Amino acid sequence: MDFLNYDFMQRALLAAVLVGITAPAVGIYLVQRRQALMGDGIGHVAMTGVGLGFLLSWSPVWMATLVSVLGAVLMELIRWYGRTRGDIALAMLFYGGMAGGVMFINLAPTGSNANLTSYLFGSLSTVSESDVTAIVLLAAFVVLVTLGLRRQLFAVSQDEEFARVTGLPVRALNLLTAITAAVTVTVAMRVVGLLLVSALMVVPVAAAQQLSRSFAATFAIAVGIGVTVTIGGTVTSYYQDVPPGATIVLLTIGAFIALTALAAPLARRRARAMATGEPAGDPAECAIPASRESDGKVGV
Amino acid sequence: MTEPVISLRGVRAELGSRPVLRGIDLTVNRGEVVALLGANGSGKSTAVRSVIGQVPVSAGEIELFGTPRARFRDWARVGYVPQRTTAAGGVPATVTEIVSSGRLSRTRFGVFRKADRAAVRHALELVGMADRAKDSVDALSGGQHQRVLIARALASDPELLIMDEPMAGVDLASQEVLARTLREQVAAGATVLLVLHELGPLEPLIDRAVVLRDGCVLHDGPPPKAVGQHALPGHDHVHPHAAHDAEPIRTGLLS
Ligand SMILES: Nc1ncnc2c1ncn2[C@@H]1O[C@H](COP(=O)(O)OP(=O)(O)O)[C@@H](O)[C@H]1O
Ligand SMILES: [Mg+2]
C-alpha cells in the first residue's frame, strides 16, 4: 500500500472513488428512462467548456461544468419542443460542442491538443488540489440529488405521465436529472475522460441488473461496482504503466461479462428454489389438466 | 348529492393538426361509476388524458372537484391507471417500488413514514398481489401487471379513480379480482371514470355510459343493456353524416 504515501495518489484515489459513486448513481436514472447515451452527448458538449477555460484562463473544470449544464438544459428543451427534428438538433449540439472545444483550445495561448487529450481520456496523476475541491463539491451535489430525491426521480423516470398525475413537478425533475448528469460528467472528466464518462454511467448499471430484481438493489450494486473498478483501475495504473481511464472502463466491462456469466446459473437456482420452496407459487412444470385425470393425482 | 367531480364543457383538443375531441361535454358526479365507450380511435384516451392535464385543450372548460383543472393541485385525491403500454423502464423494479410511486402525493418531499408503507401494502392486498410484493414486475403476467398499476393508483387512497381500459389483455382471474376491487372502492364511496372496450364483468357496477364517436359524444345515459344489434336506439339522429365507420358503436361494444 505504499502508493498511499504519495499526495498525488491520495488525490487520484479520492477523485476516482467519487466518480465510482456518482457516475452509476446518475446513470441508473438515465438507463431507466432509456437515455443511456445522454452522458456521452454531454461529454461532447463539455469539450467546449474545457476549451473556453483555457482561452479565458479560467478553471477548465468549472468552465466545463457551466457549459455542460447549459448543454444539458438545452438537450432537455430540445426533447420537449424538438419533436421530429429533435435528433438532428441533438447531433448538431454534440458535434458543435466537440468542434468548439478543439477550436477554442487551439486559439488559447497556453492550450494545445495535448491539453485537450488529458480531458478527453482523463489524467488522474495530474489532478490538482483545486481539482479535488471542485470534484468533492460537485460529487456532494450529485449524491444529495440522486439519493435524496430517489423516489421522485424513480417515479418520473419510470412513468412520466403517471408522475405528473401524482402532482410531481416533472419538468423541474427532468431538468434536475439533466443538470446532475452534466455535473457528473465534469466530476468524471479528470478521471476517465470525457469520451469514456458514459461507460461508467451505463455499464455498472447494466452489470448490476444481471443480479438484481429491484431498483434499490440495482442502485447499490452498481455503485459498488463503480467504486471497485475505479479503485482497481487507479491502483493498477500505479503499478503497471497503463492509462487509468481506459483501465477503469475495461475493468467495468470485465465486471459486466463476469456477472452476466454468473447470472444464468443463479437465475436457474432461484427458479428451482421458488418451485420447491413456495407451494403457493406456480409449479415449474405444467400439470396435466384435471379433466383428463379422474383420480385427481395431478401435478407433482 | 350531485356534486360534479369531473366536469368537461365543450372540450376540444387537437393532436398534431387533427381534431381529436370536437366539443365534448362530460360530467361525473360524486359516487358515480361512468363508463366511457367507443371504437378505437374515437378519442376516449384523449378525453381522459385531457382531464388529468396530459393533453393541451384548445377550447372548453375542465373542472376537477369544482376547481378549474389548471389550478387543481390536490392530486392525491385522483388515482390514475394509464392505458397499459408494453414499454417498461430500463432498470428492474419490484412491485412494491412501482406501487410506492402512487403514494408520493401523500408524502412530504417523498419521505415515507410507517403509514405510507402500510398504505402501499394495503393497496397490494386489495388487488391480491401482496405475495408478489418483492418480485420484479418483469416477472408478472399482463393481468398481474395491470393489478399492480391499479394498486399504484389506489395507494394514495383516492376519491376519484380514472382508469383507461383496465380490462384490456387481462386474464379472467385478474378480471374478477379487478371487478371485486372496483366494487369495494365504489362501496366505500369512490367516484370512477372508466374507459372500456366492452362492459364485460364490470357491467353491474356501471351507473352511466358515455359513448364517443370521432371525438363527439354520441350517447350519454344508462349503459347499453344487452350488447345486441340495437344497443343504442336513436343514435342515427345525433350524427347522421359520420359515414366513415358504418357501425362504430357495435364495434366499440362488441369487439
Ligand atoms: N400523440 C398523438 N398524435 C397524433 N394523433 C394522436 C395521438 N394520440 C392519439 N392520436 C389520434 O387521436 C385519435 C384518438 O385517439 P385515442 O384518444 O387514443 O382513442 P381511443 O382511446 O378511443 O382509442 C386517434 O385517431 C389517434 O390516431
Ligand atoms: Mg385508448
Chain A positions in Cβ-Cβ contact with residue B74 (cut-off 8 Å)? 167
Edge-to-edge strand order for the sheet containing B67-68? B18-29, B4-15, B59-64, B67-68
CA distance A121 to B44: 53
Residue B46: nearest ligand to its CA?
A: 1
Is residue A187 in some structural domain? yes
Nearest in space to B82 (alpha carbons), one of B29, B46, B132: B46
In a domain, B252, yes or no: no
Domain with B54 in it: 4-245
Q: How far is CA B245 from CA B38, B46, B158, B214, in A?
A: 12, 19, 37, 9
| B101–A213 CB contact, under 8 Å | no
Residues shown for chain B: 255
The total number of structural domains that make up chain B: 1
Q: How far apart are CA A104 and CA A168, in angstroms?
A: 41
Q: What is the DSSP letter of A171?
A: H
* Residue with CA closest to ligand 1 atom 10: B15
CA distance A48 to chain B (A): 31
By Cβ distance, the residue of B52, B100, B156 closest to A151 is B100
Which residue is associated with the grid cell 358515480? B32
Name the residue among A260, A254, A203 with its Cα closest to residue A226. A203
Instruction: Domain count for chain A, please give it.
Output: 1
- Decide the pairing of beta strands B160-164 and B78-81: parallel
Question: In terms of C-beta density within 10 A (0-12 exposed, 13-18 middle, 19 or more buried), how is residue B11 classed?
Answer: buried
Which residues does B contribute to its contact with A (CB < 8 Å)?
49, 52-54, 73-76, 78, 80, 82, 89-94, 97-98, 100-102, 104-105, 107, 110, 112, 131, 134-136, 139, 152, 156
Q: pTM here?
A: 0.85
Where residue B41 falls (left for φ over 0; alpha for ψ -120 to 50; beta otherwise) is left
Contact A215 B101 (CB under 8 A): no
Residues of B in contact with A166 (CB under 8 A): 75-76, 101-102, 104-105, 156
Question: Do the domain assignments include residue A299?
Answer: no
pLDDT tens-digit profile of B200-251?
788 888 999 999 988 888 888 887 765 444 444 444 433 334 334 433 343 3
CATH number at residue B65: 3.40.50.300
For residue A88, count other CB atoms closer than 10 A to its CB.
11
Q: Which of B52, B61, B63, B55 is nearest to B11 (CA)?
A: B61
Considering the domain boundaries, does residue A300 fall inside one?
no
All residues of chain A having their beta carbon less than 8 Å from the beta carbon of residue B78 are 165
Q: What is the CATH number of the domain that holds A172?
A: 1.10.3470.10
Residue A152 lies inside a defined structural domain of this protein: yes
Residue B231 lies in a domain: yes
- Flag whether A13 is in a domain: yes
Question: pLDDT tens digits for B145-169?
Answer: 889 999 999 999 999 999 998 888 7
In a domain, B25, yes or no: yes
Residue span of the structural domain in which A85 resides: 2-294
Mutation site, B17, B91, B150, interface A, largest A CB count within 10 A: B91
Return d(Cα A89, Cα A92) in angstroms, integer. Answer: 5
DSSP per-residue string spanning A211-265: T-SSHHHHHHHHHHHHHHHHHHHHHHHHHS---HHHHHHHHHHHHHHHHHHHHHH
pLDDT tens for A209-224 read: 999 989 999 999 999 9
Nearest one of A139, A117, A223, A245 to A183, comparing CA atoms: A139
Q: Which of A3-17, A143-157, B15-29, B77-91 has the lowest mean pLDDT?
A: B77-91
Q: Is residue A108 assigned to a domain?
A: yes
Q: Is B253 domain-assigned?
A: no
What is the per-residue pLDDT across A52-98, written as a single tens digit (0 to 9) for each?
998 988 888 889 999 999 999 988 888 887 666 667 878 888 899 99
